[in-house]
Amino acid sequence: MRGKTITLDADAYHRLKARKRPGETFSSVVRRAYFKDSAPTGEDLLKWADDASTPVSEGYLSAVEEAVSRDAPPDDPWT
């Protein structure tokens, strides 16, 4: 794959480096970066959920499923 050389200010480089995981490339860090000006798509959320490094425990997922199963719509005030 062809690469591109870019120039970063020192503060931007240090922020990028701080988010770099062991064995990860800077390209990978940029690919998983979240930029506030763009809302995640459904595809983005599915990729996040499928990522093995996603820090969501089975206990948390079970608690969410239990809460959803107990959640009922509010009473209709118009009836």
7-43 pLDDT, tens digit each: 999 999 999 999 999 999 999 999 888 777 667 778 8
**Residue 32's pLDDT is what?**
85
Q: What is the pLDDT of residues 37-48, one digit of tens each?
A: 667 778 877 887
In a domain, 75, yes or no: no
- Residue 51, domain extent: 10-70
Report if residue 23 sits inside a domain.
Answer: yes
The confidence score (pLDDT) of residue 53 equals 67
In a domain, 45, yes or no: yes
Q: Which amino acid is at 64?
A: V
- Is 78 among the domain residues? no
Note whether 27 and 33 are within 8 A (CB). Answer: no
Number of domains comprising the chain: 1
Asked, for residue 76, whether it belongs to a domain, the answer is no
In a domain, 38, yes or no: yes
d(CA 40, CA 44): 6
